[in-house]
């Protein structure tokens, strides 16, 4: 591949590795009585083995619908996946049957949600639920499965795991319920964990512990696709970051590059408005987002006529770093990004000092 400046970067991965997940031009629309929402409008990205990729962006940008489209859990209707490919271990999930998808969801791709209750059945003990999740993919005796269930609970940091295994979900606190939900997700030893705001519904101390847990898990070699509002959570966990706006990815790159030099004007505004809390941007307070060209142009202080119309701008390399790309004409051959980059944004402080490792 060319490493010339100003060339597009059609693939955001190194050339020597086959990605675990490869999403190309994914499009999901949502029909409501009033309108058709272009929730995911041409999204492409990859997740490599052992890698943690974070999807960031304001509320309503399409993060959840993107992730829920991958394994078909997005409710259809009102949603409809109208195009693209989702290649996982060499097969296109968008063409897979519902029963195939169901078995992939139980074993190879696990989901964790903001609200752990959605993953827990109130009428069964957590041990029963873990044993069920374990035996889905493994021929294993009941007693061995219970042994492994207790080991999983210990692994996610539940104290007194061997006794707590017989408790019901409501006997755990919210943070502990999320740990149990993560344990269930891990039970089948999935290749990919998709976690949608897993640390949002809990208080700050619990959040820090869950981040620690997720970090341990990602260090263990599992691939993770993590949705978060919180730029600090992304900084703590991500190898690579995808920034979403208006159903499109507007910038992507390794965490260090993207955080030290956010390139797309939307990314810069996202970082500028970050207030240290995982606050939700209020999209509904603003106008409609365009559905062609650069979706951010109406709010962009640097927008030019060429930003309107057609497909979203191609990904151009930022600073000749092949893996850091911005979908913004200013990074193309005919423009100079200097005015954007000179807009000051206090962003470096978001990278956390490494604590223990
Ligand atoms: N079931 C639904 N019915 C109608 N519109 C929906 C539905 N689900 C999602 N949408 C719309 O699709 C768009 C993308 O939503 P999505 O949930 O993916 O955003 P998000 O980036 O995950 O936001 P948040 O950070 O608030 O979770 C939004 O405009 C949202 O209102
Ligand atoms: Ni969401």
Atom of ligand 1 nearest to the CA of 66: 18
275 in any annotated domain: yes
From 27, 34, 60, 76, mutation site for ligand 1 pocket: most ligand atoms within 8 A of C-beta: 60
Question: From CA 134, how far away is CA 183, in angstroms rounded?
Answer: 10
Note the pLDDT of residue 344. 61
36 in any annotated domain: no
Ligand nearest to the CA of 58: 1
Q: What residue numbers bound the domain in which 294 lies? A: 243-342
Pocket lining: 29 vs ligand 1, CB cutoff 6 Å: no
The pLDDT tens digits of the residues spanning 134-179 come to: 988 788 898 999 999 999 998 888 889 999 999 999 999 888 998 8
Least reliable range by pLDDT among 132-136, 293-297, 315-319: 132-136
Cβ neighbourhood burial of 124 (10 Å; 0-12, 13-18, 19+) = middle
Ligand nearest to the CA of 30: 1
User: Is the confidence at residue 315, as pLDDT, over 90?
Assistant: yes
Taking residues 223-235, what's their average pLDDT? 91
Question: From CA 234, how far away is CA 90, in angstroms rounded?
Answer: 28
Note the pLDDT of residue 204. 79
Ligand 2 midpoint to CA 59 (Å)? 7
106 in any annotated domain: no
pLDDT-derived band at 16 (thresholds 50, 70, 90) equals: low
Pocket lining: 97 vs ligand 1, CB cutoff 6 Å: no
User: Is the confidence at residue 322, as pLDDT, over 80?
Assistant: yes
Quickly count: other Cβ atoms within 10 Å of residue 161's Cβ. 19
322 in any annotated domain: yes
328 in any annotated domain: yes
Ligand 1 atom 24: the closest Cα is on which residue? 59
Taking residues 310-329, what's their average pLDDT? 94
287 in any annotated domain: yes
Alpha carbon 298 to its chain's center: 26
The pLDDT tens digits of the residues spanning 62-84 come to: 999 999 999 999 999 999 999 99
| Overall number of domains in the chain | 1
Note the pLDDT of residue 319. 87
The pLDDT tens digits of the residues spanning 233-249 come to: 899 999 999 999 999 99
As given in the structure block, the two tokens for residue 42 are 């041409």
- In 3-state terms, what secondary structure has residue 156? coil
Ligand 1 midpoint to CA 277 (Å)? 21
Ligand nearest to the CA of 34: 1
Taking residues 15-42, what's their average pLDDT? 91
User: Is the confidence at residue 9, as pLDDT, over 60?
Assistant: no
64 in any annotated domain: no
CA angle (106 as vertex; 105, 110 as ends), nearest 5: 60
Note the pLDDT of residue 355. 47
DSSP H helices, the chain, are 63-70, 98-107, 126-137, 142-155, 161-164, 174-187, 204-219, 231-237, 255-260, 265-272, 338-341
pLDDT-derived band at 275 (thresholds 50, 70, 90) equals: low
Question: From CA 59, how far away is CA 38, in angstroms rounded?
Answer: 14
User: Is the confidence at residue 357, as pLDDT, over 50?
Assistant: no
Question: From CA 64, how far away is CA 56, in angstroms rounded?
Answer: 10
Q: Which residues contact 42 (CB under 8 A, 6 or more apart)?
A: 25, 26, 27, 84, 247, 248, 311, 312
User: Is the confidence at residue 97, as pLDDT, over 90?
Assistant: yes
311 in any annotated domain: yes
């Amino acid at each position: 591949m060319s490493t010339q400046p100003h060339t597009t970067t059609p693939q955001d991965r190194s050339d020597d590795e086959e990605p675990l997940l490869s999403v190309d031009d994914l499009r999901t629309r949502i029909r409501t009585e009033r309108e058709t929402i272009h929730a995911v409008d041409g999204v492409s990205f990859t997740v490599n083995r052992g890698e943690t990729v974070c999807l960031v962006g304001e509320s309503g940008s399409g993060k959840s619908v993107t992730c829920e489209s991958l394994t078909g859990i997005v409710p259809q209707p009102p949603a409809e996946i109208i195009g693209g490919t989702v290649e996982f271990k060499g097969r296109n999930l968008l063409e897979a049957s519902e029963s195939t998808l169901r078995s992939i969801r139980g074993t190879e791709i696990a989901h964790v949600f903001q609200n752990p209750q959605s993953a827990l059945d109130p009428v069964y003990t957590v041990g029963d639920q873990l044993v069920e999740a374990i035996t889905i993919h493994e021929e294993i005796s009941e007693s061995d499965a219970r042994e492994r269930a207790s080991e999983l609970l210990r692994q996610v940091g539940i104290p007194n795991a061997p006794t707590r295994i017989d408790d019901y979900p409501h006997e755990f606190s919210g943070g502990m319920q999320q740990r149990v939900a993560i344990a269930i997700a891990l039970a089948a030893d999935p290749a990919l964990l998709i976690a949608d705001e897993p640390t949002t519904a809990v208080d700050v101390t619990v959040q820090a512990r869950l981040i620690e847990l997720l970090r341990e898990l990602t260090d263990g070699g599992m691939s993770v696709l993590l949705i978060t509002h919180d730029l600090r959570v992304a900084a703590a966990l991500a190898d690579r970051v995808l920034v979403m706006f208006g159903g499109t990815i507007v910038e992507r790159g390794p965490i260090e590059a993207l955080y030290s030099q956010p390139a797309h004007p939307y990314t810069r505004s996202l970082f500028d408005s970050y207030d240290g809390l995982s606050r939700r941007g209020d999209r509904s307070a603003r106008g409609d987002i365009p559905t062609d060209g650069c979706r951010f142009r109406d709010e962009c202080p640097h927008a030019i006529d060429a930003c309107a119309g057609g497909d979203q701008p191609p990904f151009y390399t930022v600073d000749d770093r092949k893996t850091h790309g911005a979908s913004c004409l200013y990074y193309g051959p005919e423009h100079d990004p200097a005015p954007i980059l000179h807009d000051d944004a206090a962003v470096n402080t978001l990278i956390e000092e490494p604590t223990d490792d």
